[in-house]
Amino acid sequence: MSGPAGHGPAAGLYRPGDTPVHRLPAHCKLPAVLAFVLVVVATPREAVWAFGVYALFLAAVAALARLPAGFVLRRLLIETPFVAFAVLLPFIASGPRVEWLGLSLSESGLWGAWNVLAKGTLGVAASVLLAATTELRDVLRGLQRLRMPPLLVQIASFMLRYADVISGELARMRVARASRGFTARGPRHWGILAKTAGALFIRTYERGERVHLAMLSRGYTGSMPVIDRLTATRAQWAYAAALPLPACVVCVLGWTL
């Protein structure tokens, strides 16, 4: 599952560096991020202060990884649809209403919007930090070491590996259409675009068959070889736990205070 670094559909998410966070094995970072997100989700929405503490934890990780604030904030824009949904909740939710600047807002909708924004933003931020400090091929190796079903790891590997191939094929088809004077300007051209999508599917399917036959001719038996079997040290596991364990303490305090 090796491949050139810096290429692929998520190449812009990774920021090369030589920091303790970058050097941490992927199979340590993955459980740590998952545990952190689960703790955030389990925190009661009324414990507003707890989410501020979680944000400080993530800011400390970003500083340790030497990730600029602008780099992280730009990638948080991916949650814009969830923000739009959260903004609508106070207007469409039922229950007791409160007046604010002449607007009638649902009290439960306000809490729901806060819940979505706080937990969603923290979850996306944790994922952004993971992607920014871990190459995709290392993520796949980490999943393999964590005993994720091999078939799922292979599907993810092939999907990431050939996303660029498919996008390149689509770009060439777009250039071919443009060279023949085609410009999509309305519903009357949807039929042509549908035929393009069908042709793209056939080409990628045929390419997949050729790749599969090439793999079989080279001894592929249904599982990819494990390139390395490096294991994490206790110190590395303890280092990875430095994020979820304090967050778990904050969550407990959020329920008890």
Average pLDDT over residues 3-12: 49
Q: Output the CA–CA distances (angstroms, integers) from residue 220 to 1, 212, 223, 226, in the order listed.
A: 13, 9, 7, 13
Q: What does 204-216 look like in DSSP terms, one character per residue?
A: HHHHHHHHHHHHH
Average pLDDT over residues 228-232: 69
Question: Where along the chain do its domains lie?
Answer: 11-143+231-256, 163-217
Number of CB atoms found within 10 A of residue 76's CB:
15
Rounded to whole angstroms, the Cα distance separating 85 from 31 reads 29
227 — pLDDT class (breaks 50, 70, 90): low
Is residue 25 a contact partner of residue 141, using CB atoms and an 8 Å limit? Answer: no
pLDDT of residue 10: 54
Rounded to whole angstroms, the Cα distance separating 104 from 102 reads 7
Q: Tell me which DSSP letter residue 81 carries.
A: H
Residue 149: is its pLDDT beyond 80?
A: yes
Among the listed residues 10, 220, 245, the one whose alpha carbon sits nearest the alpha carbon of residue 128: 10
3-state secondary structure (DSSP) of residue 163: helix
What confidence tens digit (pLDDT) does each residue in 9-27 have? Answer: 555 688 898 999 999 999 9
Q: How far is CA 130 from the centre of its chain?
A: 8
Between 161 and 24, the more confident residue is: 24
Total-model pTM? 0.77
Rounded to whole angstroms, the Cα distance separating 139 from 104 reads 47
Among the listed residues 156, 128, 110, 141, the one whose alpha carbon sits nearest the alpha carbon of residue 37: 128
Per cent of the chain over pLDDT 70 is: 92
Residue 3: is its pLDDT beyond 80?
A: no
pLDDT of residue 188: 75
What confidence tens digit (pLDDT) does each residue in 164-215 have? Answer: 778 888 888 888 888 887 777 777 777 877 888 888 888 888 888 888 888 8
Kindly state the tokens that stand for 51: 């989410």
Q: Which residues pair with 100 in a beta bridge?
A: 103
3-state secondary structure (DSSP) of residue 98: strand
Average pLDDT over residues 100-110: 81
User: Average pLDDT, whole number, for the chain?
Assistant: 84
Kindly state the tokens that stand for 171: 């770009």
